[in-house]
């Protein structure tokens, strides 16, 4: 019998916390545009005629990053952590949810190393608020803002994004083991 097979099952199920252990996670989110809602992306209010519809504040950037962070550690997803059936999550600040996810992966022995996000939308343009978003996210993630990248892309007029029905975000997060 190999050494690995002799290990109790619980030991194998616990995420690795070896120092320097590197993990990668991906997250995706999309929300529909709606009038009369604030547009909040990465914890920053963006000037726009329409906002995003959702149970929480519909911050698709935070939601995609939260899923990427949890996914990298193999610790579930945002829907499990903050069910939209829970009234406590109504209009909830998504930066808070991201901070809770970072706390969860920290308890499991990981730190965030960097995050890269693409926001796919025809409008508005993110560039005027990009640095503010990076700073806000960096503080929630416990990293320097140089470790947070936020990129805006149009969908070249194609499909539901092209028609301006909503926006989508894709995030990648890398984590590093603290070696606790």
Q: How many CA atoms lie within 13 A of 24 on its CB side?
A: 2
> In the bound complex, what is the minimum distance in angstroms from residue 31's beta carbon to Zn ion?
6
Q: Which stretch binds Zn ion (CB under 5 A): 55-63, 110-118, 123-131, 150-158?
A: 55-63
Residues 19 and 152: their CA atoms lie apart, in Å, by 34
Q: Which stretch binds Zn ion (CB under 5 A): 14-22, 26-34, 39-47, 95-103?
A: 26-34
Three-state SS for 15-64 is CCCCCCCEEEEEEEEEEEEEECCCEEECCEEECCCEEECCCCCCCHHHHH
Structure tokens belonging to residue 46: 């963006």
Q: Which residues are CB-neighbours of 173 under 8 A, at least 6 positions away?
A: 24, 25, 26, 27, 65, 68, 69, 71, 72, 112, 114, 115
29/129 with CB nearer Zn ion: 29
61/108 with CB nearer Zn ion: 61
> In the bound complex, what is the minimum distance in angstroms from residue 58's beta carbon to Zn ion?
6
> In the bound complex, what is the minimum distance in angstroms from residue 41's beta carbon to Zn ion?
11
Q: Does 167 bind Zn ion (CB under 5 A)?
A: no
CA nearest 103: which of 150, 60, 69? 69
Q: Does 63 bind Zn ion (CB under 5 A)?
A: yes
31/134 with CB nearer Zn ion: 31
51/109 with CB nearer Zn ion: 51
> In the bound complex, what is the minimum distance in angstroms from residue 91's beta carbon to Zn ion?
13
Neighbours of 144 (CB within 10 A): 11
> In the bound complex, what is the minimum distance in angstroms from residue 145's beta carbon to Zn ion?
23
Position among 23, 25, 29, 46 found at the interface with Zn ion (CB under 5 A)? 29
Applying CB under 5 A, which residues contact Zn ion?
Answer: 29, 63
């Amino acid at each position: 019998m190999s050494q690995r097979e002799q290990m109790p099952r619980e030991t194998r199920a616990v995420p690795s916390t070896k120092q320097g252990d590197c993990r990668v996670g991906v997250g995706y989110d999309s929300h529909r545009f709606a009038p009369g809602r604030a547009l909040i992306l990465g914890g920053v209010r963006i000037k726009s005629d329409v906002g995003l519809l959702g149970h929480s504040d519909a911050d698709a950037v935070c939601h995609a990053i939260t899923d990427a962070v949890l996914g990298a550690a193999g610790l579930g997803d945002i829907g499990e952590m903050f069910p939209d059936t829970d009234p406590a999550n109504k209009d909830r600040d998504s930066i808070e949810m991201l901070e809770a996810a970072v706390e969860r992966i920290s308890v499991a022995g990981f730190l965030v190393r960097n995050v890269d996000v693409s926001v796919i939308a025809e409008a508005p343009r993110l560039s005027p608020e990009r640095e503010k978003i990076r700073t806000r996210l960096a503080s929630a993630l416990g990293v320097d803002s140089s470790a947070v990248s936020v990129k805006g892309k149009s969908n070249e007029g194609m499909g539901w994004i092209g028609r301006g029905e909503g926006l989508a975000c894709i995030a990648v997060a890398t984590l590093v083991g603290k070696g606790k």
